[in-house]
Amino acid sequence: MKNTHRTLGNPSAAIPFVKAVSLLVGMLLCCLTTQAQKLTVESLEYVPNDATAASYETQMQDVNGNFAGVVKVYIALDGVQFEGGGVLKQEKRGMGEYWLWMAQGSNRLKVRAPGFLPLEVNFRMYDEVKIVKPKLTYKLVITVPVAGAVQQRDDGIEEFYVRGAKFRMVHVAGGRFEMGATMEQGNDAYEREYPTHWVTLSDYQIGETEVTQELWETVMGTSVRQQREKANSSWSLYGEGGSYPMYYISWDECQEFIKKLNALTGRSFRLPTEAEWEYAARGGKESTGYTYCGSNTLDDVGWYWKNSGDKFLNGVDSDQDWDKVETNHCQTHPVGTMYANELGLYDMSGNVCEWCSDWYSNYSESPQTNPKGPSTGSNRVYRGGGWNHNARFCRVSFRSQASSGYRSYYLGLRLAL
């Protein structure tokens, strides 16, 4: 009978191939491990004056009726999960604070956080603890690496963590565009938006959203309330929370923030130039010529004074109507909650205006390449319109100016790289 069995040739010839594949897999795993950041235990201790575990409102028993201990974990990250046979319940109690109810006798815990290697915590290594005891409260502090680029995604978005605060930078492919009061801006354009002129830009990155209060406070150590005190203590707060855009910040303070952020990340973040800002707001090479950032209907893409309050305001179109904005509780909103533009960027029409790097000056009709504005001036440019502005101020070509020390309830920033 004819032998129909097929061979793969000389088996020894496959050995180098197997070694090569093994080497490649090893290198890949090594790279992935190097990318991931390591968490470390700063401290684990018994807190004798904390009665949380013994309190009637918060105490817990296991299936055998034994009372649990409570481990309060402090880690500056969201999305953290805790594993271990002794974990009965876990709750996030605030920014960077988690409570774990653990069965008595527990002595191990695994901590998992997105973008970080799992952390194994052995309670027996800490003399004050050893094991979890019933109705006692413990404090576990976990240190997060100061910063690191977590992931370069296929869609051109680069994600960063800074002490747990997460933000994203979007790649913008360079190109040529007409800047200023182009045809779709219609009769709403101001004289300072003329003449239109052609600008050519190289590739760059820009923030997916405005800088949040969480990121600002993480880097600078000041809250929006503290920034308000610097501006005017009698002024109100117009949106407060980690996901809200930061405001009450001057151009000068933005430079200090960027300097500290660069020291933490080892990168070269900056404010966008005015041309980079407008090109990105228009959608870059993907632009479809909208009046606002991502739409011809502002209510789809921007928080402004008709839709940022308790109800939709009609007939509001001048500063004389500020009392309506106040009584309607208009304010900022969490970033990224409206529709994005063609590049996946949010809130470049409304929410808060955004500082640019340029000194303010009148436009020239001459074509320009990577313009950075004049070398000196009196005021800095800001763009974008804010939560308290009318639709005319939220157009992609609208521009305004303020001194570098100016702080306002409608003025924040977006990063570039």
Render the burial of 19-29: b for 16+ CB within 10 Å, e for the rest: eeeeeeeeeee
Among the residue ranges 9-23, 59-73, 335-349, the one predicted with the least confidence is 9-23
> In this predicted structure, what is the pLDDT of residue 145?
67
Residue range 209-231: average pLDDT? 95
Residue range 340-369: average pLDDT? 97
Domain regions of the chain by residue span:
40-143, 148-412
Return the CATH class of domain 40-143. mainly beta
> In this predicted structure, what is the pLDDT of residue 31?
45
Q: What are the structure tokens assigned to 53, written together?
A: 């575990």
> In this predicted structure, what is the pLDDT of residue 320?
62
Strand partners, 152: 158
Residue range 246-274: average pLDDT? 94
> In whole angstroms, how far apart are CA 110 and each of 10, 70, 119?
48, 16, 6
Mean pLDDT over the full length of the chain = 88
Among the residue ranges 203-207, 294-298, 322-326, the one predicted with the least confidence is 322-326
> In this predicted structure, what is the pLDDT of residue 30?
44
How far is residue 127 CA from its own chain's centroid?
A: 39
> In this predicted structure, what is the pLDDT of residue 150?
54
pLDDT digits (tens, 9 = 90+) for 139-176: 999 887 655 545 556 677 888 888 778 899 999 999 99
Q: What are the structure tokens assigned to 394, written together?
A: 């939220």
| 347 exposure class (CB count in 10 Å sphere: 0-12, 13-18, 19+) | buried
SS3 per residue for 77-90: CCCCEEECCCEEEE
Q: What are the structure tokens assigned to 168, written together?
A: 């994203």
| C-alpha span between 308 and 330 (Å, rounded) | 5
Phi-psi group of 350: left, alpha or beta (phi > 0 → left; psi -120 to 50 → alpha; rest → beta): left
Residue 146 DSSP class: S
> What type of residue is 354?
E
| C-alpha span between 78 and 114 (Å, rounded) | 8
**Dihedrals phi, psi of 32, to nearest 5 degrees:** -65, -40
Q: What are the structure tokens assigned to 403, written together?
A: 């001194």
**Dihedrals phi, psi of 247, to nearest 5 degrees:** -150, -175
Asked if 308 and 333 touch (Cβ cutoff 8 Å), the reply is: yes
* Cβ-proximal residues to 262 (8 Å cutoff; 6+ apart), any chain: 268, 269
411-412 vs 353-359, strand pairing mode: parallel
Residue 243 DSSP class: T
CA end-to-end distance (rounded Å), the chain:
72
pLDDT at 231 over 80: yes
SS3 per residue for 204-239: EEEECCCCEHHHHHHHHCCCHHHHHHHHCCCCCCCC
**Size of the chain in residues:** 417
CATH code for the domain defined by 148-412 = 3.90.1580.10
* Cβ-proximal residues to 263 (8 Å cutoff; 6+ apart), any chain: none
| C-alpha span between 304 and 356 (Å, rounded) | 20
For 325-374, strand residue ranges (E) read 353-359, 368-369
Asked if 266 and 145 touch (Cβ cutoff 8 Å), the reply is: no
Residue range 211-215: average pLDDT? 96
